[in-house]
Structure 1
Amino acid sequence: MDLFDDLPEPTQTSCSITAAPIKAQPQSTKEGEEEEKGVKRKLDNADSNTARRGADEEEIKKVCKEGLPVLKGYVAARRGEREEMQDAHVLLPDMSSFVSALPKQVSRVSYFAVFDGHGGARASRFAAEHLHQNLANKFPTGDTENMDRLIKKCFFDTFRQTDEEFLRKASSQKPVWKDGSTATCMLVVDSMVYVANLGDSRAVLCRMEATPAGDGQRRAMTLALTKEHNPTMYEERMRIQRAGGTVRDGRVLGVLEVSRSFGDGQYKRCGVISSPDLRTFQVTTNDRFFILACDGLFKVFSAEEAVNFVLNILQDKSVEQRVGLTEEEARFEAACQQLASEAVRRGCADNVTVILISVNF
């Protein structure tokens, strides 16, 4: 819907000139000058109304933008016991500069993503560098209808394009690159959230809801925003088998742990695809924060444990303040860093990358 559809049309000052009755004598010069001045005044009034209407629209759009959720991202990355850091991440609280022309009804676009590489770091880094660029290039522009449908199509096209571009580059190398990567990406268009994922990286939301007792207290709800893709899932296994692949020991051909990914060119003929699962919903004033993380976190934390861990730190009054950060920002930064460190302390030997995104209105 257009941002200004609900607004009443402003009163227009007519610019048309009513013809005067024909007189027997020619009109005097003075009368002609007065008529010209009257016409000029009418035209000036019309221009003034048009400018005023434009200013009103800009002011309303500014007010609407101020009512949108304010997102701030924090990231923590740990190499763990791996020889190489194969994760990659992107934080773009304001992605508008990457889009050539935002639709009139859109005020702000934000993007956050985590990529968990395997077989090397090249696929994850490539996706981190190119996925949001491709998404921005395909993002709907102009006065667009069916915005939701177009954004969803944009996601699917972008994932396919990014995968194809990496596979072309990988196959041109000697020896051929065999890297692959999961992906969990979150795009926020004003207050609408689009979460797309491949593989076993995950996104969860902490939403505060009133308790059933009606005592004014609120409790934290943990909402899963992604669907894992592994070969043991029935639909994933059937697709792999129809493509001529096999699942052994819970892995594609007994090797690959995920059934959807970027890269992994040697498994694409076996039914491993790059089509994401995509979920959408609207941010509410009850939403507290998002967690996007690779499976290194969730090997040692359940989603609920991770949310409660963050909440406990956010309520900790003893968190050390940091220069340049507000008290709340310092707590979110501490929560993100401590969550990643705790995953390593609990024995996760994998790379761990955590993105924590605060929500404020």
Structure 2
Amino acid sequence: MDLFDDLPEPTQTAGEASVQKTCPSPLEDRGSKRKRDAPDDDEVVEEQTLEEKKVCKGVPTLKGYVAARRGEREEMQDAHILLSDMKTCLSTLPTTVSRLAYFAVFDGHGGARASRFAAEHLHHTLALKFPKETENLDKLVKKCLLDTFRQTDEDFLKKASSQKPAWKDGSTATCMLVVDDMVYVANLGDSRAVLCRMEQEMQGGERKCVTLALSKEHNPTIYEERMRIQRAGGTVRDGRVLGVLEVSRSIGDGQYKRIGVISTPDLRRCQLTPNDRFIILGCDGLFKVFSAEDAVKYVLNVLQNGSVERKEGQTEEEGHYEAACQRLANEAVRRGCADNVTVILVSVSF
């Protein structure tokens, strides 16, 4: 069965766009899922050709903002990374691909080591495995993501088992890879990704916000997940694997891998359109107190209403997105979320 779950086809083709050139340095923070226990002429011609391709393909501009709160936890076990330009991580890139971006949230449990490891290493493995050819690109990107998650899990488990005592950390993962105007989301566990798309309600009417899920939750109460765990010899009690682990797929958690906890992500893809405003990636600390629709509406309200303070060098739009991201995380804590809260807000513009 194809693991890709395609979202609705765009109703409008992308327009002319620019490509974001900056590449922010990886940002890391540390929620708990367990109960506590100078170029030559040829180069110039090639660059011009690539610029023409960018205009034709209508590559959107993406900019990421992040807010992380420890909440009532003793330590920050979330980690995250924002790479608006991932091309610098690759030695070669297919000539037809003009932009590569990567954003990810990792929610650790049992410690912060698995989430930190994934934030530091997963994108480098992804860069090494990224397709060199563009024929059947969707199929190759799918294989690349599956192989990357498997390799990252194996690498962490190898390191964890070599420690004295062995590490027992685990982590969710919600990773968004953007290839030109196509979004690929690979996720494990209960961190989530949602897209805000503005659509015309009726001819001549106002545009309304549609919230699209870009990820699928994995917990042992879901029938397919529970059956896999039970077939492997595990049990589900109180909604947790062996009564302890709250997610059914993760990176790490070596002691649960033999009883059906896997590191195979669900994959979804979605073509960005000029109707798309932003994407939210968040750990379950956010979505315990916000529904996906409420989170999107909260961000839209900040973007559309009121004045905000801008950082030096920020445009008014950037200031609004920064404020929306920070306020969303603050509101999750204010609503009583005791878990770590990490929010990545990615603006989309054509």
User: Given the two structures, how large is their TM-score scaled by the length of structure 2?
Assistant: 0.86
1:189 to 2:179 alignment: yes
2:70 to 65, 68, 79: 79
Partners of 1:60 and 1:241 lie apart in 2 by: 55
Specify the SS of the correspondent of 2:285. Answer: helix
Q: Please state how far the C-alpha of 1:56 moved relative to its aligned partner.
A: 6.4
Match of 1:222 among 195, 211, 215: 211
> Which residue of 2 is the match for residue 329 of structure 1?
318
TM-aligned CA deviation for residue 144 of structure 1? 3.5
**SS in structure 1 at match of 2:146:** helix
Q: Which residue of 2 aligns with 1:270?
A: 259
AA in 1 matched with 2:264? S
Q: Deviations over 1:74-115 (max 9, x none)?
A: 000000000000000000000001011000110110000000
Task: Check the 8 A contact 2:195/2:211 in 1, yes or no.
Answer: yes
Whether 1:198 and 2:198 are equivalent positions in the alignment is: no
Q: CA deviation at 1:197?
A: 0.1
Equivalent of residue 98 in structure 2, options 90, 94, 107 = 107
Match runs of 1:172-321 below 5 Å = 172-212=162-202, 214-321=203-310
State the one-letter code of the partner of 1:150. Answer: L
Q: Distance in 1 between matches of 2:100 and 2:253?
A: 30
* Aligned counterpart, 1:88: 79
- After superposition, the CA RMSD in angstroms is 1.4
Aligned-partner Cα distance in 2 for 1:101–1:283 = 24
Structure 1 residue matching 2:140: 3-state secondary structure: helix
Letter in 1 for 2:195: L
Unaligned runs of 5+ in 1: 1-50
Amino acid at match of 2:100: V
Secondary structure of 1:269's counterpart equals helix
Deviation, structure 1 residue 58 = 4.2
**Offset of 1:350 from its aligned partner?**
0.1
Q: Which residue of 1 aligns with 2:25?
A: none
Deviations 1:54-88 (A, max 9, x none): 97664342033243100000000000000000000
Seen in structure 2, the aligned counterparts of structure 1 residues 215 and 199 have a Cα distance that, compared at 3 Å, is same
SS state at 2:247 partner: coil
Report the counterpart of residue 59 of structure 1 in structure 2.
48
Mapped to 2, the partners of 1:323 and 1:140 lie a distance apart of 39
- Which structure shows the higher helix fraction? 1
Aligned length: 308
- Residue 357, structure 1, aligned to residue 337, structure 2: no
d(CA) in 1 for partners of 2:107, 2:98: 31
Q: Indicate if the aligned counterparts of 2:53 and 2:96 stay in contact, CA closer than 8 A.
A: no
Q: CA deviation at 1:280?
A: 0.9
Report deviation, 1:216: 4.1
2:153 corresponds to? 163
Looking at CA atoms only, which structure, 1 or 2, has the larger radius of gyration?
1
- What's the CA shift for 1:318? 1.4
In structure 2, distance between residues paired with 1:61 and 1:165: 36
In 2, Cα distance between equivalents of 1:126 and 1:99: 20
- The 1-side partners of 2:288 and 2:248 are apart by 18
Tell me which residue corresponds to 1:27. Answer: none
TM-score, length of structure 1 as denominator length: 0.83
Which AA in structure 2 matches 1:178?
K
Distance, in Å, in 2 between the alignment partners of 1:209 and 1:240 is 41
CA distance in 2, matches of 1:161, 1:304: 34
Unaligned runs of 5+ in 2: 1-40
Alignment of 1:338-357 (within 5 A): 338-357=327-346
Give, as a single letter, the amino acid of the residue that structure 2 aligns with 1:304: E
1:8-23 correspondence runs (5 A): none
Whichever residue aligns with residue 177 of structure 1, its letter is: W
Shift of 1:163: 0.2
Quick one: distance in 2 between partners of 1:127 and 1:323? 32
Name the amino acid aligned to 1:207: R
Describe how 1:140-159 pairs up with structure 2 within 5 A: 140-141=131-132, 143-159=133-149
